[in-house]
Amino acid sequence: MNMDNIIFGDTRENNAKTLFNSEDGETIYSGLNHSCKYFETDEFQNMTRNCINQLSIFSLNIRSLPNKFNELKNYLSELNHGKFKFSVIGISEVWSLPNNINFSLPGYSKIEFKIRDQKNNKNTTGGGVAFFIDEDMEYEIMENHSIFIPHVFESIFVKVKISHNKYSVIGNIYRPNTAPLGNLNHFNDILSELITKIKKDHSLKSDELTLIGDKNVNLLQYLNHKETSNYVDILLNNELLPLIVLPTRVTQKTASIIDHISTDIKDTNLNSGILINHLSDHFPVFYIKSGKTEKRKNTTTKTRVINENSKNSFKNLLKDFTWDEVTQENDPKKSFSNFFRFLT
């Protein structure tokens, strides 16, 4: 595809018309209210000012989380303004997670991750994927679906609760492109089998699947690169619509769409975009779903402290208590009811 047809940089226009285009001007986005634009931080804040309890996803290839964690935390504090907060933060190229760094984000559950060096003995292992999930959301890491083959297919999948008995599956996938392991045909085979497995697993109670992450598959090559075309066909055949249609990695001489968000969510307003930031040589991408999601309700849990002191106190209470209403009651049911009432 001719790069002259691709709009990037400071342009704010929808670029869907230039991606997967056909001779008659129809695209897979025709008839959809699909928006994909570049946003400065203040523009994003203005757009999300009234977004409350909507499923929202942030994805970034950070190229070493330890080296840029504080910058990431500060940047997210700017994006998560007012009542808006990203539901899911997906990070690729985590590299390593040294024990001497506290990888915690305010308002999010503990970091969930898959990395190449599970013992964290090396600082420059490369690759790896991670999630931070809104602490008010119920979620479950899908271990049986989180395929992690170092240098080939590195992924972590999560199931988040979006309403009563309904869940959304989100997969964060990183595809290294270093030969010989970074084989796109092999990656496509794994991806196709994994999507089929998830969609056939009715126990997940989910009819929503979203894939994010740096795939190192340039969507601009869809028309002239067979393996890229096959990758897109796998998505479309499974009703997964690519939402990011503008370059996410731009140099002085090249521009590529390699950081993807693809979803089969039946949304009336496919609001996605690219954030202008220089945390790494990739721009962050995002998607905000229409409609509200269910947050975890705050509940008070009562517990009993059982130790030697509490047991001795309980014994003394039993010994000193007057049991006349139990021992002198002729009706067994009433006697038991009184006994149970006194104990509680």
Rounded to an integer, what distance in angstroms lies between the CA atom of residue 339 and that of residue 344? 9
- The total of structural domains in the chain comes to 2
Q: Say which residues have a Cβ less than 8 Å from residue 343's Cβ, sequence separation at least 6.
A: none
pLDDT recorded at residue 13: 41
Reply yes or no on whether the pLDDT at 315 is more than 80: no
With respect to residue 294, please indicate whether it lies within any of the assigned structural domains: no
With respect to residue 90, please indicate whether it lies within any of the assigned structural domains: yes
**Pick the residue with more confidence: 11 or 64?**
64
Residues of the chain with pLDDT > 70, as a percent, come to 81
Contact by Cβ (8 Å): 187, 214: no
Q: What is the mean pLDDT of residues 12-25?
A: 55
pLDDT recorded at residue 70: 97
Longest dimension (CA), the chain: 96
Give residue-wise pLDDT tens across range 75-129. Answer: 999 999 999 999 999 999 999 999 889 999 999 999 999 999 877 766 668 999 9
pLDDT recorded at residue 344: 57
Do 332 and 210 lie in one domain? The reply is no
Do 330 and 224 lie in one domain? The reply is no
Q: Which two tokens stand for residue 124?
A: 């420059």
Closest to 270 in 3D by CA, of 250, 286, 294, 248: 286
Do 137 and 225 lie in one domain? The reply is yes
pLDDT recorded at residue 32: 86
pLDDT recorded at residue 133: 98
Do 126 and 262 lie in one domain? The reply is yes
Reply yes or no on whether the pLDDT at 331 is more than 90: no
pLDDT recorded at residue 279: 96
Q: What is the mean pLDDT of the chain?
A: 87
Do 172 and 278 lie in one domain? The reply is yes
pLDDT recorded at residue 165: 86
With respect to residue 55, please indicate whether it lies within any of the assigned structural domains: yes
With respect to residue 45, please indicate whether it lies within any of the assigned structural domains: yes
Rounded to whole angstroms, what are the CA distances from 336 to 147, 201, 205, 315? Answer: 57, 49, 44, 19
With respect to residue 297, please indicate whether it lies within any of the assigned structural domains: no
Backbone phi, psi, residue 9, to 5°: 80, -125
**339 lies in which domain range?**
308-343
Do 314 and 223 lie in one domain? The reply is no
Q: Which two tokens stand for residue 277?
A: 């930031």
Which CATH number does the domain housing residue 242 bear? 3.60.10.10
Handedness of CA 161, 165, 166, 167 (dihedral sign): positive
Do 197 and 279 lie in one domain? The reply is yes
Q: What is the mean pLDDT of residues 299-320?
A: 62
pTM above 0.85, yes or no: no
Do 246 and 179 lie in one domain? The reply is yes
Do 248 and 331 lie in one domain? The reply is no
Reply yes or no on whether the pLDDT at 8 is more than 50: no
pLDDT recorded at residue 118: 78
Do 64 and 206 lie in one domain? The reply is yes
With respect to residue 137, please indicate whether it lies within any of the assigned structural domains: yes
pLDDT recorded at residue 321: 67
Do 206 and 326 lie in one domain? The reply is no
Do 43 and 185 lie in one domain? The reply is yes
With respect to residue 238, please indicate whether it lies within any of the assigned structural domains: yes
Rounded to an integer, what distance in angstroms lies between the CA atom of residue 288 and that of residue 177? 29
pLDDT recorded at residue 17: 46
Using alpha carbons only, what angle is made at residue 234 by residues 231 and 142, rounded to the nearest 5 degrees? Answer: 100
